[in-house]
Structure formats: structure tokens, C-alpha cells
Structure 1
Amino acid sequence: MALLTAPDDRPVATRPPLGRVDVVTVLSVFVFVLTVVPARFVVGPLGAAGTPAGIMAVLCLFWYLSSMIAGRTSPVQGRQPVRTVMVLFVCAMLGSYAAAMQRTLPGLEGNAADRGLILTAGWAGIALLAADGVERLDRLEAVRRRLVAGGGAIAVVGCLQFFTGFDLAGHLAFPGLTTSTNYTSLLSRDEFNRPMATATHPIEFGVVMAMLLPLALHGAVYAGEGRRGRRWFLVAIILLVLPMTVSRSAVLGLAVVCLVVLPIWPVVWRVTAVLVLGVFMVALRALVPGLIGTLTGLVSDIGSDSSTVTRTNDYVVIGESVAHRPWFGQGFGTYLPQTYRILDNQYLLSLVETGLVGVLVLLTVILSGWFLARSARRALLARGDRETAHLAQCYAASMAVALLSFGTFDAFSFPMVATLMFLTLGCCGALWRLSRED
């Protein structure tokens, strides 16, 4: 029997009381807030750092740290590479903040530097809480299910926005929250509506869908009786809305998912998946004429289109900034588009803001998720647990999507995709830890 479906056979005296709020319950609420509450809504005085999901992530860090006061409640038990990685990340961000304070900062840049520290605290909190707080593999499976459910919900909103132009998320209102920026309810490209649901941009929405697609696939291929229809619907709606974002990043993310997940499937599954993708493209071409051609053009024109030329010019423009502050940059969050320019490459933006140290640490953060998931897969296969090993590969695919997409847009400027990456990292750490426990 796979560990994901194993019952809780601990003695009754050692099980958590029914009324206790455990980490998975908190993470489930967090997933709901992250996906359903539009990221443009903030607590006014806190600005862009005051999104409900961001505030909750910081509270998760406080909860995690306060639980370490007593050994009985401390989540720090045994090895956990995510702890080391997050310490390195936080230190790099603090070093960048110290470097920023060495120069005279304009008011906007000073506020942005402070906001960067708040974002860093939230990302660290959600990654550490997931990595150390999930107690069992079946509870980690609950986190996966709720992530996919949240993604399916906003995928439905995105489909509605694409076909009708009606922005359901734009008509939502939350007491006590204000809109952080001038909100554009609908973007378009080549006469196609570009949905973004509750995200802040179609590119962000498309990458989020690509990161959630492998997790949805896992739930569908290992669904029990009576659940297959619902879980395959989630896969279908996520796969359907992904190309509707008319985003190169989303299409490349889909390709990454196929390259990482399909090779581990049995031959019959792979052949079926290729045939289904072929039928899906034909059906999409008939349903939305011109969309497949537009997406094909986006990918085939890489290197010659105006977007790529602009990105290439960025290397020349920022050379002087990097040369003056090569190690810790000018300060995380301080390279403001309204003051300087938009850098559609998170690695390039991190090089300017956090220097060489920050870029190396960022790569370490993302790659650690990949290697932890792959290591967990090997350990689970050695134990004969193919279902959970498949889940590990799907988490690795999500981290691979993040690794690629961070090079195609400034991901840290978009709260949903950045937070999802750190949550996925925490889940990879939890899976690595649990795969080695007896």
C-alpha cells in the first residue's frame, strides 16, 4: 500500500487532538488566501507587502520561530536541507539590505527595501513551516489536493475571462483591503483576451498553472474509484487555460512538465498522453481559431521579436550598476521600474539588486527543491512506493518550471508565483524528510 493512503495507525494517546490546528490546516487556509483572494488587494498602510497571503506568511514565520522556544514543540527535528537553504537566502537578502543602507536612498527605494525584508520573511516562513511541520505523507497529500483545487478554481475564472471578457475577480471586494496599484482588468494580445484570474498578470497566471499542472496530473493518475472524473476535470481545466494566457513562459512551462514527467511513465501512459495532447491541440485550434498559431509564433520568434531584443538590451544597460556593486547589489526591491526600467528576467534583476551572492543563492534555492524531490523519489522507489515516488517527480517538475520561468520574467515582482515557489520548496523538503522516516 502506498504511504499516501496509509491510515494513521499511531496509538490514540499520541495522535493530535481533533481540535488542534495543525500545520496542514494553516497551509490549507494559506493556499485558499493565496489563490482565491486577488493579489492586488492589500492592507493599505503596508503597501505591496500587505497582501493577505503575505501577512499570513509572515505570521507563519513567527509561529515557526516561537515553537522553537520549547524542545517539546520545536519543529527542528533531524536533518532538513531546506533550513540551511533558507538561512542562506535570508542572509543574502540581509546583506543586500545592508548594502542598500550604505548609500543615500530616495524615499521610494527605501520603502521598497523595507518591503523586500517583509517579503523575505514571509517566503522563509512558508517554506520552513511546510518543510518541518507536515507530519505525515497523507497530510502532505492533503496540501497537494488543496493546491490543485485552488488552481482549478482560478482556472475556471480564467476561462470565463478569456471567452467572455468578464473579469469576475475585478468585481470582488474585501472589507479593510484596498487595491495596491492601478488595476487593468483585461489585457489582450493579437485580439485574444489574456486571462489572469486572481493573479496580477497573465504571465504570472500562466506560470502558476504550469507549476500546478504536474501536481494535478499526479492526483488524476492515482485517483481512487469515484474521484477520477473530478480530478481529470481539474487537469483539463488547468491545461485548457494555460495556452489562453498567450504567454511564452506558460508554453515553455508546459514543455518542461512534459520533459520531466513523461519519461517516468509507462510506455502506454506516454503514448496515451501524446495522443491526448495531439487531440487537445486540434480541438483548441477548432475552438479558438488562431490561438495555436499565435503561440507557435511566440516560441519560434524567440531571439528575433521585440520582447527578446528588449531583454538583450538589458544586459548592456545594467552593466554599470553591476560593476559598481557586484557582490550584494543595490538592495533587494530597489530597482524600481518607474525609476529605472523593467527587467523581464528575475536572475538579471537579482544580479542588480542582490549581486552575485544573491543570484547564486537564488539558484541554490530553486535547485535544492529539484534535488530534494529527486532524492526523495529514489528513496521511495527503493522502498517500493511508486505512487509517492511519482508525487516526488511531480514536485520536481514544478520546481523545474520555476527554474526556467524565473529567466523569462521578473518573478519576485509577482506575489502569487513567488510565494508558490517557496511553498513548493517546503513541500519538497517535507517529502525528502518523510521519505527517510520509518
Structure 2
Amino acid sequence: MSDALVAARPAPPPVRAARGRTRPARTGTALTMVTVYLVLLFGIPSNLVVSGLGSLGRPSLLWGLLLLLWWVVARLQARAVDVMPTSQPVRWACTALFVIALVSFAAALFRGQPADQVTTAMTSLLRLLSWGGVVLVTLDGLRTLCDVERLVSRIVVAGAAVSVLGLAQFVTGSTLLDFFTLIPGFDSEDAGVLARGGFTRPTGTATHPLEYSAAICAVLPLAITQGVIRAESGRGRLPWTWIPAGLIVFSALLSVSRSGMIGLAVALAASLPALPRASRAVLALGGLAAAVVAVIAVPGLFGTVVGLFATVDSDSSTLSRTNALARVPDFIASSPAIGLGFGTFLPRYYIFDNQWVLILLELGVLGALAFAAMVLTAMWGAVSTVRRSPYTDVAALGRGVAASIATTAILFAFFDGLSFPISAGMFFLLIGLSGAIRTVGNADAALVPAKATA
């Protein structure tokens, strides 16, 4: 190609449609594809799988693989760039994690593995590919503020809907999802309601109360951010803008879970820096009101929750978690750099209830560093919109996404979150969303000087 033709080629335009409320047609397809994933993730019970496929038959996992294929085809067919190129450090962190997982898998096969561990490891790699498809389509496909806002709004709606389902389960003592087992072509794995202290522990569409608590607590910062943006922009009226956040807080309080309480506290604390002072007061008063209502409406709840923390030193699950840390060096000694192989450390060896420890065991020190880098680069990419974009709504969204990622990352220290479909899918959806909001922030930064000199 001659220099003249290179010079004549127009530079890729920035995402100025990001400020507009009219969504460009080309980016809408990615939004629709990710929305379908969100519906499958939250709307279909995690224990429902396509017959004959086992754990690989979860609709959200299959759709994630389709997203990856769709992203690859779109990249191969791309003829022009619609937006100004944006560096995405989180993409490199995700790539490093996947490469380490492949190397660890190959090394595990060379060492020799029982047949059931090989099958589990291959399934885990497919899950990783599925999550990668979610990250890439969200990161590269959502290119405008309109798309990002719509996806955030839909995530908040999904979180609020699951919270309402959880509240109904708490009251009725039933999963209320038995009708899904009547769908032909699907199998339902064992599931049912759990109880603690005489109270039903809601699960929503999740497989376990821990997964349920982690998912709705991850959505909470986005619900709070959306409430603030709509209240300040006049697109919503108080108190209606805070209903989703209120439902999530109330449902988390009724989860009868230490991890749920910790996740709720982390989500609220992480959301505070992004809020105006007046909104901080609303958040504090709203959270206090929800706690008071929960205590009054559910006699005995306060004593049960206090008891969970008062007996933490003698609780069997807590002791199991702390005692397990002493065994980590023994398990990882054979392969400290790249681990035992992603998905090969089965519960029959030990149950750590700590995703960070599992990453260390299965992917080694390099995998743990890559996973931490993915979390940190995603948070940094989202928060960087504060200094790049002069628009308060973009900055607020960036902080909200970062707060959601931080909440999930901290909760991963209390349970093996990547083993549960909703918590894992939500985590990687947030990773991709951090890149999308970074793209919008960079576009704003590129446009502001041009507008100032116009």
C-alpha cells in the first residue's frame, strides 16, 4: 500500500455517540448478545442443564462459547474501526491467565491424571473459554455510553428480580422453580432450600446461598450508581430510583450468611467514594432502614445473624477454612509455578472454600498473579474514567463497576466462586464491562480538547 493511500485513509472516529441517547445500530447487536447471556445466567436455574451434556449443558455456558465464536468471526470480518483504538490492559491480563491455564493443563496431562480429573479439567477449560467470550464481546462490542448504561440497567433489573425471588423463597420456604423441571430436553441436578437458625436461606436461581449472596452483592454498587445518576439527571424520582438497591440490600440481610453480610458491607463501603455527600446520607439511612425493617419483620433474625459472627471462632466451616491454609504448601509443592492444573483439584482432596487459594493450587503462583492482575487492571481501567472523562455520569459508572469487581474479588476469599455459574459469569461480565466503560472514558478525553478549541 502506497504512502498516499495510507495518508488518505480517514482516522477512526472517536465514540462521540457515547454521549448521545441514540444507540448506533452496529453496537446494538453486541448489547443484545450480552443481554441474552445475562438472561440465561440469572433467569434460568443454575442446576438446569441440557440433557446428556452434564455440567457443560448450562445454557449460559453454551451461550458464552457462542459469544467467543461470534467475536472471532467478527474480528476476522472487520474492515474498519468504528472507534478510536483504546489500550486495554485487562485484555492482556485475561490472555495471560488463559495461557497459564493451557500450560498448566498440558503439564498436568504429562504427569498423568485419573480419568475423572481429565474430564473435569477439560470442562474447566471450556468454562474458561466461555467466560472469555463474555469478556471479549462486552469489552469490544459495547462502544458507547448508551450501550454501557443499558447493560448496567439490565444487570440491575436482573439483580433486583433475583432478590425478589429470594425474598419469596424466604417467606414460602420453597424454591418456586420446580416448573423448570418440566421443560423437555433438560435435566435438573439436585437442589432444594437450605435452612439456618430456623430460617430458609434464599438461593434465587443459584445453586447455593453463597452464590446467591455474592451475585446480588456484586450488583448492588451498580444499583446504587444507577440510582444516583438517575436522581441527579432528573430521569428518575426519589424514592423510585432506589428501589432496586433497596430490594438487594433487604434480600442480602435475609440471606442468613456471614459471607452475605460481609459482601453487603463491602459493596456499601466501596460505593461511598463515588457518591455525592447528600447521596451518602441517603445510602446510610436507607441501609439502616432496611436493617431495622428486616429485624422487625423477621423476629429472631437479629439474634441469628449476631450469633453467626459471635461464634465464628468455634464454627466448623470457619475452622475448616483457616486450618486448610496450613495444607496449601503440601498440595502445591509438586508444581508451585503453574499449579496442579485448572479444574483438577477436586473436593475429594480438600474443600478450601476460597477461590484465591484454589487458583494458587490449580494455576500456581503465576496463575494467581495473572488472576490478581486481571482484577486490578479491570478496576484501574474502570476508575481511570474519573480523570479521563469530564462527565460525572461516566465517572460514576466507572467507580460503580470498580466497586462491583472489588466486592466480588473479596467474596472470592470466602467461597470458591468460579465453581458456581452465576457468581463466575457475573464476575467476568464485570471484567468486560470495565473495558467498555474505559473505552467511553477515553473517547470523552479525546473529544474534550477538540470541543474546547472549536
Fold conserved (TM > 0.5)? yes
Give deviations 1:8-30, integer Å, cap 9, x for gaps.
49xxxxx537xx96100111111
2:101 corresponds to which of 73, 88, 93: 93
Deviation of 1:279 after TM superposition, in Å, equals 2.2
Equivalent residue for 2:424? 418
Q: Tell me, yes or no, if structure 1 residue 386 matches structure 2 residue 365.
A: no
Equivalent residue for 1:346? 355
2:402 corresponds to which of 375, 379, 396: 396
* One-letter amino acid of the counterpart of residue 177, structure 2: A
What is the alpha-carbon distance in structure 1 between the residues aligned to residue 300 and residue 435 of structure 2? Answer: 42
Q: Tell me, yes or no, if structure 1 residue 30 matches structure 2 residue 37.
A: yes
Are the counterparts in 1 of residues 340 and 363 from structure 2 also a CA contact under 8 Å?
A: yes
Equivalent residue for 1:178? 187
2:281 corresponds to which of 256, 259, 271: 271
Which runs of structure 2 are paired with 1:147-226 in the superposition (5 Å)?
147-173=155-181, 174-179=183-188, 181-183=189-191, 185-223=192-230, 224-225=234-235
**CA distance change for structure 1 residues 26 and 283 in 2, over 3 Å: closer, same or farther?**
same
Deviation of 1:435 after TM superposition, in Å, equals 0.6
Give deviations 1:262-294, integer Å, cap 9, x for gaps.
133232222232222222222211101222332
Q: Tell me, yes or no, if structure 1 residue 371 matches structure 2 residue 389.
A: no
In the alignment, structure 2 segments of 5+ residues that lack a partner are 1-15, 448-454
Give deviations 1:186-207, integer Å, cap 9, x for gaps.
0011111001010010000001
Deviation of 1:303 after TM superposition, in Å, equals 4.5
Q: Which has the larger radius of gyration?
A: 2
Name the SS for the 1:429 alignment partner.
Answer: helix
Deviation of 1:52 after TM superposition, in Å, equals 0.3
Which runs of structure 2 are paired with 1:237-316 in the superposition (5 Å)?
237-316=247-326
Equivalent residue for 1:106? 114
Name the SS for the 1:197 alignment partner.
Answer: coil
What is the alpha-carbon distance in structure 1 between the residues aligned to residue 225 and residue 86 of structure 2? Answer: 28
Dislocated runs of 4+, deviation >3 Å: 2-5, 73-78, 224-231, 299-304
Are the counterparts in 2 of residues 68 and 75 from structure 1 also a CA contact under 8 Å?
A: no
* One-letter amino acid of the counterpart of residue 371, structure 1: W
- TM-score, structure 2 normalization: 0.88
* One-letter amino acid of the counterpart of residue 7, structure 1: R
* One-letter amino acid of the counterpart of residue 225, structure 2: H
**CA distance change for structure 1 residues 88 and 25 in 2, over 3 Å: closer, same or farther?**
same
What is the alpha-carbon distance in structure 2 between the residues aligned to residue 4 and residue 257 of structure 1? Answer: 27
Equivalent residue for 1:12? none
1:6 corresponds to which of 15, 20, 31: 20
Equivalent residue for 1:435? 441
Give deviations 1:100-147, integer Å, cap 9, x for gaps.
102221121111010011001011110111111112111111111111
Counting matched residue pairs gives 424
Give deviations 1:131-187, integer Å, cap 9, x for gaps.
1111211111111111111111111111110011121123323332212x322x100
Deviation of 1:341 after TM superposition, in Å, equals 2.3
* One-letter amino acid of the counterpart of residue 347, structure 1: W
Name the SS for the 1:324 alignment partner.
Answer: coil
Name the SS for the 2:127 alignment partner.
Answer: helix
**CA distance change for structure 1 residues 115 and 137 in 2, over 3 Å: closer, same or farther?**
same
* One-letter amino acid of the counterpart of residue 116, structure 1: S
Give deviations 1:25-78, integer Å, cap 9, x for gaps.
111111111100111111233321221000000111111112121341679944
Report % sequence identity: 33
What is the alpha-carbon distance in structure 2 between the residues aligned to residue 320 and residue 115 of structure 1? Answer: 26
Greater Cα shift, 144-153 or 423-432: 144-153
Are the counterparts in 2 of residues 4 and 141 from structure 1 also a CA contact under 8 Å?
A: no
**CA distance change for structure 1 residues 226 and 70 in 2, over 3 Å: closer, same or farther?**
closer
Are the counterparts in 1 of residues 213 and 259 from structure 2 also a CA contact under 8 Å?
A: yes
Name the SS for the 2:320 alignment partner.
Answer: helix
What is the alpha-carbon distance in structure 2 between the residues aligned to residue 57 and residue 290 of structure 1? Answer: 42
1:56 corresponds to which of 63, 66, 73: 63
Are the counterparts in 1 of residues 213 and 255 from structure 2 also a CA contact under 8 Å?
A: yes
**CA distance change for structure 1 residues 74 and 271 in 2, over 3 Å: closer, same or farther?**
closer
Greater Cα shift, 369-378 or 406-415: 369-378
Are the counterparts in 2 of residues 154 and 198 from structure 1 also a CA contact under 8 Å?
A: yes
Are the counterparts in 1 of residues 339 and 360 from structure 2 also a CA contact under 8 Å?
A: yes
CA RMSD of superposed structures (Å):
2.2
Name the SS for the 2:200 alignment partner.
Answer: strand
Deviation of 1:220 after TM superposition, in Å, equals 1.8
- TM-score, structure 1 normalization: 0.91
* One-letter amino acid of the counterpart of residue 150, structure 1: A
**CA distance change for structure 1 residues 251 and 104 in 2, over 3 Å: closer, same or farther?**
same
**CA distance change for structure 1 residues 295 and 114 in 2, over 3 Å: closer, same or farther?**
same
* One-letter amino acid of the counterpart of residue 93, structure 1: A
Name the SS for the 2:384 alignment partner.
Answer: helix
Name the SS for the 1:246 alignment partner.
Answer: coil
Deviation of 1:314 after TM superposition, in Å, equals 1.0
What is the alpha-carbon distance in structure 1 between the residues aligned to residue 240 and residue 285 of structure 2? Answer: 21
Name the SS for the 2:75 alignment partner.
Answer: coil
Equivalent residue for 1:331? 341
Name the SS for the 1:188 alignment partner.
Answer: strand
Greater Cα shift, 294-303 or 90-99: 294-303
What is the alpha-carbon distance in structure 2 between the residues aligned to residue 157 and residue 110 of structure 1? Answer: 37
